[in-house]
Structure formats: C-alpha cells, structure tokens
Structure 1
Amino acid sequence: MEAGAVDLMLSPKQREQLVKFREKVSDVLQPYHNDYWLLRFLKARNFNLKKSESMFRKNVLWREENKISQLYSEYKEPEVLQKYKPGGKLGNAKDGRPVFLDPIGNVDFKGLLHSVTVSDATKFYIKTLESLQRDVISQTEKLKRQIVGVYYIVDMENLGHHHLWKPGVQFTTSVIQQCEQQYPELLHKVIVVRAPRMFPLAYSIVKPFLNEQTRKKVVVFKDDFESELLSVIDADLLPKYWGGNLVEDGDPMCPRTVSLAGKVPKEWYMTGRDLSVDSSQMTTTEIARGGTLQLTYKTSQCNSVLRYEFRTQEHDIGFGVKRLHDDGSKTPVVKTERHSCHLVPEIGELILEDPGTYIVKFDNSFSWSRSKKLSYWIELLEPDLEENDSKDEDNQGDEEEEEDDDFVQATEG
C-alpha cells in the first residue's frame, strides 16, 4: 500500500500535523511507512511533533540495530520455549483485525527464565509482536482497507502470587515497554478474562508502563465474558473453552491453536548447571555499586566474531557493545540492556561486520546499593584471510575442514 493512500479520518489539524511529521522524518522513511504507520507514532505522543519524531527515529534505529526483519525470518526459539510458550493466533475478527489469545495465567515465568536466556525470551516476544504487526499489514492489503491494530485476549485463570516473582515481573514490564516503544498503537483492544481477585494488584504493577491510550483499551471480565468475545470473533474460530465452537481432538482448549504454557519441568532448568566454558577460563571480578567494567577489542578484519558468556552471582547486570570511531564517537552495536544472568548464563556471539575497535561494557550504574560479582569469558575470532586464500588456490573442492580452523584467536585489548 502506498504511503498516504489510506483514509485515516483525521481532523484538519491532525492531518496538518501528519504532513509536517512526514516532512520531518523524510530522510529515514521506508516504503512501508504509510500514513497509518506514521500516525501510530503521532497518536502515541498525542500529536506532539518533537516527541513523535524522537520516538520514530529511535524505532528506525532499533529495527536496524536489532536486525528485526532477519530475526523475524530466521530466529528459532529454544525447544523449551516451543513447548511452554503461551498463546496463539485465532485468525481474524469479524471486522478484519487479527486476534491473539494469551493464557498468561498459565505461564511459568520462573521456570522459563531458569531454562532460557533473557535474550532468547525477549527475541521470542519481539518475533510475536512483529508477526502481529505484519498480520495487520497483510489484512490491510487483502481487504483493501486500513486495518487498525489487533485484538489481544488475555486469560488470567491461574494467576497467582508466583507471578509476582521479581525477575518475572521485570521481564514482563520490559516486554510491555518494548511493545509501547517499538510497536505503538498495535493493540486495538485488550480483553482480560477470568480475572481473579489478585488481578488489581498485578495490574497495578504493569499499569505505569502502559501509556494512557493503551489503558483506555483494556476491558476486564471476571466471568460472563463469552458474549464479548463472540461479538469480536466468529464462534467457529474461538475455542470452546472460551465460549466458541472450536474443538481439537475433543479438547475444548485447542492446544494446537493456542499454546497453553504450563509448569516447566526442572530438568529443563539451566540454573546450577556448569557454564559451557570451563570455569578456569572465566574471569571473575566485582563491579562496584554504580560502577561499570569496559573491555576493548580490536579487529582488522571484516566479519570477525565476538563470542561471550557471562553470569553474575546475584542480581542482574547491564551488557552492551559499542564501536569506537577515530574521532572518539561511539556507535551502539548491541544496546546496553539489563540481563538476569544470575538465573541463566547469558551466552551469545556477535558478528562484527567492520574492522575497528569495539568496547564491551558491563554496566552496574543503575544500582546504587549493590555491587555485582561477575564471571565472564570473551573471545574475538578473526577470519584468517591468508589461510582462506591458500585453501582456495591449493585445496579447491576440499570443504571438510573444521570450522574453527578458519579463525585465529585475537588477544584481549
């Protein structure tokens, strides 16, 4: 759909702001940035041009830095997430909007965050949000009219005090912030069903992270919610457990359509297991409260690989990577974010596309009351270009070499 091709039913003042907004961000616009896309950022900031522009530019940068299109097409969640992730798409509502059902009361956040890294869990939720956003675009193209947002049904059955586990709450609020910042106005309506007595307490924790527009979209039902859901979606698309007609192999909850989450068995837990790197290779240090640790690595080759693994003894720590330029400026390669690596070791690798100097930062500046005991292992691997050239000339057709033979390890700067 071409930019500006949709009827957004705006007031003259709002349309004027939209035109000005498009002009202000014209240098970073992509083909898919139609008027509806831009309007979401304007609405999220109450049509304040300065705030909307800042939010939009940060989103463009975030999508680029995190390679969101690549994550969507290539990321595959760990097996434990495949088994115990929550929710699923129910198809499209009567008005054409996508519908997602999330039995969040069944989610064992403690089990999941003991079984996968926070990075993997975050990628899973980002991929889900990206998928829903793409569904909106797809429906718009299919129906040849602008579809605005999705219906998000949240089943709170089995919500308990275990859901108030602090790392789980921190992770949940971080996902909500990602949704509000990077996918503004994605939600058309949030329908909460089977809300238990402790729901007001749980909602009071996440409510500050919802903007005013999102709060207005939330409706809550303790029971008798079926008619509300059936006013949104056809009965044949809604599982019988939630008031529809859909049944799978006699199961009214339709677990193939809606992943039901559930308690994660402890055999999946990573906590207490040995790190993948031998402890003798780890460097252990203490980062003072309010302090940071910065490590510098230099590479002269394109597409070098920075591999890392780290864990704290207690509490979370920030981690990020920046590229240092000759003029002293720094460009984020991995945005600094807090990781609950006291629960599960954080393990990853980063492709450094350009040669240069890179700074790895462990950040405890957010904590003014606790120091953090950190164990980390980092190595920088550079392609051995001369060796590769030699292989191309002397050993054409022989492609059975070990992958590690293609790299030499660089020293820590």
Structure 2
Amino acid sequence: MAHVSALSEKDKQSIEELRSRLSDELKEVPSYSDDYSLLRWLIGWDYKIDLIVPKLKRTLNTLSALKLNQVDFSSIEKVTDYVNSTCNAMEYYPGGLVGYDKEGNVVSIQPLTKADPKSLLPTNRMSLSLINRIAESEGVMSLIRANERRLNKKLGVVLICDMDGFSTDMLWMPGVKLYLGLIRMLQDLFPDSIRKIYVIRAPSAVQVAYNMVHPILAKQTQQKVEFLGSDWKEKLQEVISPDVLFEHWGGTRSAPTPFGHIRMGGKVPKELHYNAKNNPEEPTSKLLTALSVPARSSQKVTVKVDKAGSHLKWFFRVTSGDISFSVVHSEGKVMRPALRLTTEWVPEWDELTCDLVGEYHLVFDNTHGKLWSKEIKYRIQVIAPKA
C-alpha cells in the first residue's frame, strides 16, 4: 500500500488554500488543519477545491455542533467506551475497533451479517443511530491522526467485513436503503479514509449485496476492496499481527470470548423497542402542528430565544419517507447538523442548550425529494433557564 510522506508543491499549495478559505471553521476544529487531514480531502475529491470547501465546511460544522471535537478519542478503549455509552442497544450494532495493522492503520471488524435491522430500527430514533456512527468514525479519524503524527505518513482504516452466514434473505429493502444512505453520509463526511477493505467468509450469494453497494462507493474505495478466499486467516496475518486479532478472526489475542469486545449484534429484545408510553417527550396529538414541505424545497420554523441557557426542544414525525432536519442560528452558526431522518419506526425528539440568544431556525429540508411533499407534525418548545 503506497504511503504519502513527502508532499508535492501542488499538495502544499492546495492545502494552504483550504486552510485560508476555511480558517474560521478550522479554528473551531483545529485537529483537521494538519497536512494529512487536508490531503485526504484533496485526494477524495480530485483536488477540486471549489467542490471541497463546502463539503469540508459541512464536516467541520457537524463535528463542532455535535461537540465531537471536544471528546477524548485518544485510545481505542476511549473510542469504544464513548460509542457504547451513547445508545442503550449498542451491543446489537455489530462491529468495533481491534487495534492497528503492521503499518499503523486502524483496524475495524464489521460482522455485517449479525445485524438484525427489523428489530434494530424500532429501537432508537434515527438521529441517535446516525450520530453514533459519526462519533465512531471521528474517533477512528482521531486515532489515525495521532499515528500519522507519530509515524509521519498518511494512514487510514482497514475494514474486515465478515460475511459469515450471509443469505439473500437478509436483504430487507428498508434496511438496505438505510445502510446505503449511511455509507453515503460517512463517505461525504470522511473522504479518503479507507486504506483497505477485506471481505472474508463470503458465500457466492454475497455478490447480490455487493452489486448494490459497489456503485455508491468512492472510486478510490472500489479499488481497495479485496475478497479473500479460504486462506483469509493467513492473508490477514500478513498485514495484522495475530496478537491484535481475536480468536474468531484467526488471531491469538486472549479474551473471555472468541470475539473479545467486538459487538456481535443479534435480535434486539422487544423490551428495548420504542414505546410512546415510556417517553415523557411524546406530546398528545393536540399539541402537534402540521407542516407540509413540497418536493425540491424546504421549510423553516423560527423561534426566538431571549435568554442564554434556554433549552430548545423539538419533537416531530414525518408521515412517510424521510426529511433532512437541522437547527441553525440566525447568525449562520449550525447548532444541529443536517441529517436525513425517517420516523417510520421511532419519532424524532431532542433538545439543545442555547448559548446564543436570537432566532433559531429549525429547517425541514425536502430538496432531495423529486415528486412527493412530506407532511410533518411537530412540537417546538423554548424553556427558559431556571432562575
């Protein structure tokens, strides 16, 4: 795998231009202003700076709004603990980080076939699941940056996709659609972060699933996918020391189970599914306001916050399909990043503490919708701080 240590003159000039054009955002998230972080964006988007600037700005605003730039992601254990603490059903989201390969890349194991989307989707609101995936990805990027500083070379993440037990029965289309949307989102937020994808234990039927995923992978990523045969354990050990991998993946690392701390998914128990009766934030229908958002357009609901420290709370349902939702202060600061959300299984609600006074725009964006308007029923509250 080729590494970049010496930067070309073109690289240096392009990196400086990005630093200059995004100086305000990089002050908020300074960890992204190093050479290799900016080089990733240049490589990921073919050095098209006018295209990169708004996309990188979105990533920096997202990390800042979610306060992920303030989280201690200095070790694999800290990343794992943070991710596991954000969701009550985290053990049912398969995957996890095991360590580093022989070159210093972060190694992530994804037992994809162990997910059960039919029982997972009714468990948590969509925003929580997406933010959790963004948090784990930013944790990985933080670990990559630390190793890049130490080794002075450009690194990335190595994914081991374990397809053991795959069958086409697993291709439940609502789950597939959301998974493809997740891949698109993470690629947009974290371009050129994949070093290699190893697919192991894949039956021939997995080609059906791969044919769905392949077109949405970035061009660079498509070239990094390798399907390993029956000698996959030996192949993995050529690039990853056996003491990094747990027994289930051919390693010698000791742990109470063959899987170590890697989450192995499974069917989510019914008691973890969303129940409106147990949610104090669920309003009665009388308290909800209706809003129609036509295709190819957006609507915003504006509220005024007079006192710093007030709580802005929201609750909404979309009657069908999905909507992109964000919260932006009238001065332009992103308070909650835009995320494509469906409420088919669980409604959306959350709150934020308003450090800034002034107007807050809650934006319901359906510009991705080509034909259908989206009907929203929402409740928004501003609760002043207690005296």
TM-score scaled by structure 1? 0.79
Does the 8 A contact of 2:21 with 2:53 survive in 1? yes
Is 1:283 paired with 2:288?
Answer: yes
Given that 1:150 and 1:189 are in contact with CA atoms closer than 8 Å, whether structure 2 keeps it comes out as: yes
Match of 2:273 among 269, 272, 284: 269
Give the direction of change, closer, same or farther, for the CA distance of 1:350–1:15 in structure 2 (3 Å limit): closer
- SS of corresponding position for 2:120: helix
Q: Is the 8 A contact 2:326 2:363 kept in 1?
A: yes
Identity among equivalent positions (%) equals: 27
Alignment of 1:32-71 (within 5 A): 32=31, 33-70=33-70
Q: Secondary structure at the match of 2:361?
A: strand
Counterpart of 2:273 in structure 1: which amino acid? Y
Any stretches of 5+ residues in structure 2 without a counterpart? 74-81
Query: 2:370 & 2:20 partners in 1: Cα distance?
Result: 43
C-alpha distance in structure 2 between counterparts of 1:71 and 1:153, whole Å: 26
C-alpha distance in structure 1 between counterparts of 2:41 and 2:7, whole Å: 14
Q: Secondary structure at the match of 2:198?
A: strand
Q: Using CA pairs below 8 Å that are at least 6 residues apart, which structure has the higher relative contact order?
A: 2
Alignment of 1:105-124 (within 5 A): 105-124=113-132
2: CA distance, partners of 1:148 / 1:307: 40
C-alpha contact (below 8 Å) 1:313/1:372 kept by paired residues: yes
Distance 1:21 1:379, change over 3 A: closer
Partner of 1:383: 385
1:186 corresponding residue in structure 2: 193
The answer on whether the counterparts of 2:289 and 2:379 sit within 8 Å (CA) in structure 1 is no
Cα contact 2:166–2:203 (8 A) shared by 1: yes
Matches within 5 A, 1:4-403: 8-25=5-22, 28-30=25-27, 31-32=30-31, 33-70=33-70, 76-81=85-90, 83-141=91-149, 143-146=150-153, 148-161=155-168, 163-249=170-256, 251-252=257-258, 254=259, 256-270=260-274, 276=280, 277-283=282-288, 285=290, 287=292, 289-290=294-295, 293-324=299-330, 331-384=333-386, 388=387
Closer, same or farther in 2 for the Cα pair 1:361/1:203, shift >3 Å?
same
Counterpart-to-counterpart distance in 1, 2:14 and 2:374: 47
Deviations 1:217-260 (A, max 9, x none): 111135331121111111122222222223534x43x2x32111
Which one-letter code corresponds to 1:189 in the other structure?
A: K
Counterpart-to-counterpart distance in 2, 1:281 and 1:197: 53
Distance across 1 between alignment mates of 2:141 and 2:288: 42
- Point out 4+ residue stretches in structure 1 off by more than 6 angstroms: 72-75
Aligned to 1:404: none
Asked whether the 8 Å contact 2:98–2:245 carries over to 1, the reply is yes
More off after superposition, 269-278 vs 173-182: 269-278
RMSD: 2.9
Distance 1:233 1:303, change over 3 A: same
SS at 1:39's partner residue?
helix
> 2-side partners of 1:334 and 1:292: how far apart?
16
Deviations, residues 22-80 of structure 1 (Å, cap 9, x unaligned)? 55555654553221111111111222333334433333333223322246677732221
Q: Aligned in 2, Cα 1:22/1:79: closer, same or farther, shift over 3 Å?
A: closer
Q: Distance in 2 between matches of 1:51 and 1:368?
A: 23
Q: Secondary structure at the match of 1:122?
A: helix
The one-letter code sitting in structure 2 at the alignment partner of 1:79 is: N
How far apart are the structure 1 equivalents of 2:334 and 2:12? 35
CA distance change for structure 1 residues 320 and 90 in 2, over 3 Å: closer, same or farther?
A: closer
For structure 1, the 5+ residue unaligned runs are: 1-5, 389-413
Alpha-carbon contact 2:309-2:355 (below 8 Å) kept: yes
| Distance across 1 between alignment mates of 2:21 and 2:363 | 34
Does the 8 Å contact 1:99/1:153 carry over to 2? Answer: yes
User: 1:169 Cα deviation (Å)?
Assistant: 2.7
- Counterparts of 1:113 and 1:107, CA distance in 2: 11
User: For residues 365 and 72 of structure 1, do their structure 2 counterparts lie closer, same or farther at Cα, with a shift above 3 Å needed?
Assistant: farther
- 1:378 alignment partner AA: I
1 CA distance for matches of 2:181 and 2:188? 10
> C-alpha separation between the residues in 2 aligned to 1:179 and 1:286?
29
